[in-house]
Structure 1
Amino acid sequence: MNLHLSRRRFIAWSALAAAAGFARFPLEAAASAPHRVRPFALRDVRLKPSLFLDSLQTNRRYLYSLEPDRLLHNFRRHSGLEPKGQVYGGWEADTIAGHTLGHYLSALSLMHAQTGDPECRRRADYIVAELALCQDHSGDGYVAGFTRKNEAGEIENGRVLFDEIVGGDIRPASFYLNGSWAPLYTWHKLFAGLLDAHAHCGNAQALQVAEKLGGYVDGVFAKLDDDQVQQVLSCEFGGLNESFAELHARSGDARWLKLAERLRHREVMDPLVAQQDKLARLHANTQIPKLIGMARQSELTGDPEPAAAARFFWHTVVAHHTYAIGGHSDREYFQTPDSISEFITEQTCEHCNSYNMLKLTRHLYQWTPQASYFDFYERALLNHVMAQQHPETGMFAYMMPLMSGQARSFSKPFDDFWCCVGSGMESHAQFGDSIYWQGQDTLFVNLYIPSKLDWAERGMVVELDSTLPLGGTAALRVVETSARVPTRIALRIPAWAAGWMLKLNGRAVKAELADGYASIERRWRAGDTLNLELPLDLRLEATADDPHTVAILRGPLVMAADLGASTQPYDAPDPVLVADGDVLLGFQPQGEPGHYLAPTVTRPGPLSFAPFYAQHDRRSAVYFKLLDPAGWQEASAAKQAEAKATAQLDAQALDSIQLGDESSEKAHGLRSESSYDLSYRRRKGRDARTGGYIEFDLRSAPGPLSLRLRYWGGDYRRRFRILANGRQIAFETLDGNRGNAFVDVDYPIPATALRGKTLRIRIEPEKGYSAGPVFGCWLLA
């Protein structure tokens, strides 16, 4: 079936869907219009003291600590200029080098707009000038920091891969293109940084660099037919389509819009236009920027197809793939819809996903200003984004682990530079971007972040004070007015707030309630004050797939059990909620707001609870099984039986190795290449990437023997050979059809492979695939 819909077919589908009762998306589309409301420029909003201002200032200190010349190292080197600084480590020492510079340029530009900081603008201007110099030296518009590894394993200038591509040699993988780690993704970050410098720092040269680089990129794609373009787009390319749509909006050149529309990854976009959820097993953050680009294209062209895809994607992810904290993905991938309870692990919720979902939310809200969009925005901002940055060091977490007892891992200042470090620098530089929005004659207040808005165009100044998220009050005071001020102020009433109260100048007022907003219309005068009171009651939120797996929330905040310092190991059972009736009756306020003690309803013992976001240096529990006393006894017995079975297996094995455990691997003479230790669901393991291998020794004995390997049943796109003393004993394929559980597979070892007292096991992937991960290995008689 060809899922590519024409505009006419989409409109016809909408009518049919509405007639069939699937009315939400078509009706919402009909009520939508680009820029029905608009955000204020960052420069119009200044933050007042709060946890958000603290976070922004912490982030600014980190931005100051980075050296632009070190981030520019590869750009200068590969344009033929002498670098002025040593290249950083981590991802910046890999073939994805250069992505951080784009993030950094965006963060500096946003920080300048948010605070007026001249040093951030000076650094941004310096970087743009250096990029222009590199570009001029290349002579054809090319400028990049990424590299590529050739077939001989040598690192080369990244531009050689585009010479190959225009010649028809296209070798894509999910994250690699002709030996380079996501080069188009890296370019998207650079384009975004240049466009931010142009928008927020008024740097005209940034737009010139972007257009010249755009000319080079357009020249590459002009030499490819449509099938070749789709081959290239099968490798992660970020939101490069958004970059060219925005370049068109800034320059007015239709060339860039044509290219943006050509960068449509049909395999992903066509099902979304057709309103089909085929997200399972897709890398989550690879997709979201594409949808942001689709949303921007729709705003510029009025085409309903890309808008339909963006809207359906957002609703699908939020309703069916999102955890309590507002994030999504496990091990960076979407799982089957409504399966959250099965994927509460130590590798949940990549930060880049939430960063990009907030960007997408802003686009959709502009079309249809409904409070529900900012109910999600508030949840992800408070519970994921604010949890991602360490408040003292300013470092960032990649994943936000939700498995009980897990601790957050934060980046090092100069030796990681993950994607989430880059998106973290941006997230924590722009908290004022969505507090206030403007309609034709309405001031919308969507986030209760203490701040001051100067609406110069309408001659209005307001100040917002708030005790949220720990307290439940907010006050909006009109400071200055003019004859041009809007007559209506609309305050978002969060979905979690029941029994709210609104006062105007100290007196209770009955407000019009529509689309989630309490609106007051009047002629506003200086000194007018709106006071909003929002109750912060505890409530349970169950996962869609299991009513007995629950999270606890208080107002906008997810609560978490404090399981001890992150520096201390955790080996206790997962905590459980046990009660015959309302379990929340067992929670007692303790100390400062948002802190509770549960002395009787948690097992195996009493627990203290506090907001999840603030537990940066603690091990915590977010999700709990909610059981009655009998269910608790049954679950305890099952755990004991599982532990007994594991002990029996270890006892009967001739030998075993715990892959991923340094001491066990050393004891068994592990050798490997392109292989990584990991942990999943508290089990250590190891995988091998294409071109690599895993090899180790086991104590052997006369046969017959079998090798038992443990896998995660949901792993897929794994193809690998298993050899014993050089003889292949199996070719394994993991295709994700063995369930959401660990599975053990036994491989008989032929007598011809048994010799001596040692058995050398080798696991090597087929080219283009990974091997494992293997989470356990036993040699059995």
Structure 2
Amino acid sequence: MRQANRREWMRGAATVAMVGAVPVRAMAAGTILPDKAEPLPLAAVRLRPSIYATAVETNRGYLYRLNPDRLLHNFRLYAGLKPKAAIYGGWESDTIAGHTLGHYMSALVLTWQQTGDTEMRRRADYIVTELAEAQAKRGTGYVGALGRKRPDGTIVDGEEIFPEIMAGKIKSGGFDLNGSWSPLYTVHKLFAGLLDIHGGWGNPQALDVAVKLGGYFARVFAALDDARLQEVLGCEYGGLNDSFAELYQRTGDRQWLALAERIYDNKVLDPLVAGKDQLANLHANTQVPKLIGLARIHEITAKPAPAAGAGFFWETVTGHHSYVIGGNADREYFSAPDTIARHITEQTCEHCNTYNMLKLTRHLYGWRPDGALFDYYERAHLNHVMAAQHPAHGGFTYMTPLMTGMARDFSTVKDDAFWCCVGSGMESHAKHGESIFWQGGETLLVNLYIPAEARWEKRGATLTLDTAYPMEGAAKLAFTRLDRAGRFPVALRVPGWAHGQAAVEVNGKPVTPVFERGYAVIDRRWKAGDTVAIRLPLDLRVEPTPGDDSVVAVVRGAMVMAADLGPREKDWDSPDPAMVGANPLTAFRPTDPATARYVASGVFRPADLTFVPFFSQYDRRSAVYFKRFTESGWKAEETAFLAQQAHARDIAARSVDVMHLGEMQPERDHKLTSDISYPVSYRGRQGRDARSGGYFEFTMAVKPGPLVLQAIYWGDERKRDFDILVDNVKIATQRLDSDKPGQFFDVEYPLPEALTRGKQNVRIRVVPHDRSSAGPIFGMRLFTAKKGVTA
């Protein structure tokens, strides 16, 4: 087993050493913490009043609102049975239909475990019965709702793609497989739901359906040689390897383990196992479940390579590809390591990524408990997961935008979205009690300070954890019952950002704990009625962004703070606030400590700001990241800004026509036509792209004399080539390939006067090259050339 380099997470976490890519520390004589750990069962934990308990109840209301028969519509229809209710809209009416039902099944189990609500169990059992009927009607072992879009645009039963694949007719892209949208991803969600229901209360029919479904796909994969299998795995397949590994655990049938190990994407996973970060430009959430599968395979087989890949991936993503709130990815994709400062946009932090990263964290922690793992877990759980559910109507975000002035978009009570993040959201908010308490050997570990009660069967104990954290830094654990009193260690996590500044009391009296691997450990004889309390400092700090110390965020304990920029209904059109000065934290004054509210005076330009917890900005606009300047640096920045504004005014004065791509009315006004082309929104700008085989075209006004066509691009696009034509005459071939990292940039195309002479308007056409895409283009403008400038 190899040892990798140590590094800090987000410059504030405790250091982590990696042995076989599993976080550990050197085992000193007399070490107390266990070698392995497992969480107390979710069913043994009940949340006390807090934002987390509210989230569970809001989510439970959402699960009640959903109609299982509507989610089962395609399962019955494609099996030749009459649906019992109309299908839902959004993604459930597309070829990815069925993924939501899998998440819903898992969320029902988790909510039953977290709350004891028997209706959740009844619904889950009903769904299994319905799936079994549909599976029996088909008679092949297959059951599913996914669709397949044929060339004529009609959507049919997606099962028809699998015989084609078995025959070697494979057309696989990142998200399309023979005309179906990520079909194996959808299959994985169904497997996961079935296995969760079986594991939740031993429903034998759920396992039977899963085994028959597994048999169907075992035949599909058996028909593929290794090269063709890799073609198939080029399309997102979720954590299908995890499902087959778990199926082996439930049945003991080794064919499932062999299949789990064969479902291995060589291109992505080989570098990670070898300790190489090649994540840039990979779709983030496509990858995370693969590593969860590797983690599960390691737990079953004890093979070191899967553990090395899973551990290296976790270390790399959390240390070099994560935002301050713990989420990752911009426009769903990883960027180059340590380039977060160049990717602070409205398309940051897809929720599914964090949902899966927290799952992976739990696996790694179970192998070797280390508080640094839960420093990340807590950061992402508090600041991202809790930001992604609206506490009033229960809607979920897809992205959690970190760009200044952007508001969050939530799925609505119309239930017409059913994004992937709606599915992962309904699971995330069903299980806030799952990682508070852990046990290993004789040790009880407290990892999250969330008000809760729990049963610890090993000691016949009832535990009560009282706290107002994260608003306050104190938490108290009480043994309200302890049938098997005696000596054992209690380990309270001390986050890395606390730098060991933790005060601990037992029964109200100060004690000196042993500090080990991110924990304050008290090893003593415990009896019923005993309490142990911890107090952590919640000082504000400025946290630099990995790779760019000039871009910073403000953090209080584990809680990311945000400048409150006003209600979402009011557009943000002011300059981004900047932090100026050598000691900015001296300007912060608490105005309401109970809600962690501060006013910062004299340190931000152009105006003072009020700071609040970021997660709580559900219907407000925020600023999280700030460019930091010295006083002299800020004066230079102002000068550059004024020069940029003068140039923009000059171009505006010479403009003949402006096309705001991606906006409905301007596109209508300019008579836009298109095919395989889509509007996009990025960094507060609207735009449009076109995919291979498509185009977009529109009319622009012209005037006599030399003209220039200007297009606006984002400088960090992945490689692509496309042509720009004016009245069917090609004027340029544009290549985008990370031309101007971290910024928008303009390209000017002088037009030959012959193209516009005698005309009042022209048609601009944008066409991607084969197997490429065009744009996105974030606006086009025609303006007169300066005197003396000709085409």
Q: Same fold (TM over 0.5)?
A: yes
Q: 2:614 — aligned with what?
A: 612
- Unmatched 5+ stretches in structure 1: 1-10
Q: In the superposition, relative to structure 1, how do residues 670 and 116 fare at CA in structure 2: closer, same or farther (>3 Å)? A: same
Deviations 1:218-242 (A, max 9, x none): 1101000001111111111111111
Q: 1:41 — aligned with what?
A: 41
Find the partner of 2:765 among 762, 768, 774. Answer: 762
Q: How many Å separate the matches in 1 of 2:177 and 2:385?
A: 31
Q: 1:25 — aligned with what?
A: 18
Q: 1:420 — aligned with what?
A: 421
Q: How many Å separate the matches in 2 of 1:417 and 1:778?
A: 37
Q: How many Å separate the matches in 2 of 1:57 and 1:235?
A: 36
Q: Does 1:671 align with 2:673?
A: yes
Shift of 1:379: 0.4
Q: Which moved more, 1:424-433 or 1:35-44?
A: 35-44
Q: How many Å separate the matches in 1 of 2:644 and 2:397?
A: 32
Q: How many Å separate the matches in 2 of 1:39 and 1:90?
A: 36
Shift of 1:204: 1.6
Q: 1:481 — aligned with what?
A: 482
Q: 2:788 — aligned with what?
A: none
Q: How many Å separate the matches in 1 of 2:655 and 2:502?
A: 63
Q: How many Å separate the matches in 2 of 1:458 and 1:780?
A: 78
Q: 1:123 — aligned with what?
A: 123
Q: In the superposition, relative to structure 1, how do residues 753 and 171 fare at CA in structure 2: closer, same or farther (>3 Å)? A: farther
Q: 1:497 — aligned with what?
A: 498
Shift of 1:746: 3.2
Q: In the superposition, relative to structure 1, how do residues 457 and 30 fare at CA in structure 2: closer, same or farther (>3 Å)? A: closer
Q: 1:445 — aligned with what?
A: 446
Q: How many Å separate the matches in 2 of 1:620 and 1:687?
A: 28
Q: 2:164 — aligned with what?
A: 164
Q: Which moved more, 1:174-183 or 1:691-700?
A: 691-700
Find the partner of 2:776 among 755, 773, 776. Answer: 773
Q: How many Å separate the matches in 1 of 2:82 and 2:771?
A: 36
- Unmatched 5+ stretches in structure 2: 7-14, 26-32, 785-791
Deviations 1:273-294 (A, max 9, x none): 1100000111111100000000
Say if 2:344 and 2:403, in contact at 8 Å, map to a contact too. Answer: yes
What code does the residue aligned with 2:407 have?
A
Q: In the superposition, relative to structure 1, how do residues 668 and 519 fare at CA in structure 2: closer, same or farther (>3 Å)? A: same
Q: Give 3-state SS (helix, strand or coil) of 1:407's partner.
A: coil
Q: 2:29 — aligned with what?
A: none
Q: 1:351 — aligned with what?
A: 351
Q: 1:597 — aligned with what?
A: 599
Q: Which moved more, 1:757-766 or 1:497-506?
A: 757-766
Shift of 1:523: 2.1
Q: How many Å separate the matches in 2 of 1:515 and 1:76?
A: 52
Q: How many Å separate the matches in 1 of 2:699 and 2:34?
A: 63
Q: Give 3-state SS (helix, strand or coil) of 1:95's partner.
A: coil
Q: In the superposition, relative to structure 1, how do residues 16 and 158 fare at CA in structure 2: closer, same or farther (>3 Å)? A: closer
Q: Which moved more, 1:745-754 or 1:132-141?
A: 745-754
Q: In the superposition, relative to structure 1, how do residues 329 and 542 fare at CA in structure 2: closer, same or farther (>3 Å)? A: same
Deviations 1:117-164 (A, max 9, x none): 101111111111111111111101111111011222221210111111
What code does the residue aligned with 2:576 have?
D
Q: In the superposition, relative to structure 1, how do residues 451 and 267 fare at CA in structure 2: closer, same or farther (>3 Å)? A: same
Say if 1:458 and 1:486, in contact at 8 Å, map to a contact too. Answer: no
Shift of 1:758: 1.9
What code does the residue aligned with 1:769 have?
S
Q: Does 1:587 align with 2:580?
A: no
Say if 1:340 and 1:545, in contact at 8 Å, map to a contact too. Answer: yes
Say if 1:104 and 1:422, in contact at 8 Å, map to a contact too. Answer: yes
Q: How many Å separate the matches in 2 of 1:249 and 1:133?
A: 25
Q: Which moved more, 1:274-283 or 1:758-767?
A: 758-767
Q: How many Å separate the matches in 1 of 2:4 and 2:285?
A: 32
Say if 2:34 and 2:369, in contact at 8 Å, map to a contact too. Answer: no
Q: Give 3-state SS (helix, strand or coil) of 2:384's partner.
A: helix
Q: How does 1:374-773 map to 2 (within 5 A)?
A: 374-413=374-413, 414-483=415-484, 487-498=488-499, 499-579=501-581, 581-593=582-594, 594-701=596-703, 705-749=707-751, 753-754=755-756, 756-773=759-776
Say if 2:218 and 2:259, in contact at 8 Å, map to a contact too. Answer: yes
Q: How many residues align?
A: 765
Say if 1:173 and 1:768, in contact at 8 Å, map to a contact too. Answer: no
Shift of 1:28: 5.6
Say if 2:188 and 2:240, in contact at 8 Å, map to a contact too. Answer: yes
Q: How does 1:204-219 map to 2 (within 5 A)?
A: 204-219=204-219
Say if 1:719 and 1:734, in contact at 8 Å, map to a contact too. Answer: yes
Q: 1:147 — aligned with what?
A: 147
Q: How many Å separate the matches in 1 of 2:149 and 2:345?
A: 33
What code does the residue aligned with 2:410 have?
F
Q: Give 3-state SS (helix, strand or coil) of 2:193's partner.
A: helix
Shift of 1:95: 0.8
Q: Does 1:96 align with 2:96?
A: yes
Shift of 1:628: 2.1
What code does the residue aligned with 1:556 have?
A
Q: How many Å separate the matches in 2 of 1:446 and 1:665?
A: 53
What code does the residue aligned with 1:70 have?
R
Say if 1:34 and 1:299, in contact at 8 Å, map to a contact too. Answer: no
Q: In the superposition, relative to structure 1, how do residues 34 and 170 fare at CA in structure 2: closer, same or farther (>3 Å)? A: farther
Q: Give 3-state SS (helix, strand or coil) of 2:198's partner.
A: helix
Say if 2:598 and 2:611, in contact at 8 Å, map to a contact too. Answer: yes
What code does the residue aligned with 2:492 have?
L
Q: How many Å separate the matches in 2 of 1:169 and 1:370?
A: 48
What code does the residue aligned with 1:677 have?
P
Q: 2:362 — aligned with what?
A: 362
Over aligned residue pairs, what C-alpha RMSD do you find? 2.1
Q: Give 3-state SS (helix, strand or coil) of 1:348's partner.
A: coil
Q: 1:3 — aligned with what?
A: none
Shift of 1:34: 12
What code does the residue aligned with 1:764 have?
V
Q: Which moved more, 1:80-89 or 1:201-210?
A: 201-210
Say if 2:471 and 2:593, in contact at 8 Å, map to a contact too. Answer: no
Q: 1:312 — aligned with what?
A: 312
What code does the residue aligned with 1:495 have?
G
Shift of 1:560: 0.5
Q: In the superposition, relative to structure 1, how do residues 232 and 484 fare at CA in structure 2: closer, same or farther (>3 Å)? A: farther
Deviations 1:434-470 (A, max 9, x none): 1111101101110011111112243121111111010
Shift of 1:705: 4.4
Deviations 1:70-115 (A, max 9, x none): 1111111111111111111111111111111111111111101111
Q: How many Å separate the matches in 2 of 1:71 and 1:689?
A: 31
Q: How does 1:254-293 map to 2 (within 5 A)?
A: 254-293=254-293
TM (norm. structure 2) is 0.94
Q: How many Å separate the matches in 2 of 1:758 and 1:312?
A: 57
Shift of 1:646: 2.1
Shift of 1:703: 6.4
Q: How many Å separate the matches in 1 of 2:463 and 2:403?
A: 42
Q: Give 3-state SS (helix, strand or coil) of 1:395's partner.
A: coil
Q: How many Å separate the matches in 1 of 2:426 and 2:486?
A: 35
Deviations 1:672-710 (A, max 9, x none): 233322222222211123443211101134565443222
Q: In the superposition, relative to structure 1, how do residues 435 and 700 fare at CA in structure 2: closer, same or farther (>3 Å)? A: same
Q: How many Å separate the matches in 2 of 1:125 and 1:23?
A: 43
Deviations 1:479-527 (A, max 9, x none): 1213376611111111122421100001001111100111111221100
Say if 2:397 and 2:422, in contact at 8 Å, map to a contact too. Answer: yes
Q: Give 3-state SS (helix, strand or coil) of 2:86's partner.
A: coil
Deviations 1:534-577 (A, max 9, x none): 11111110112222211111111001100000111110111111
Q: How many Å separate the matches in 1 of 2:759 and 2:5?
A: 69
What code does the residue aligned with 1:602 have?
F
Shift of 1:31: 5.6
Q: How many Å separate the matches in 2 of 1:260 and 1:459?
A: 38
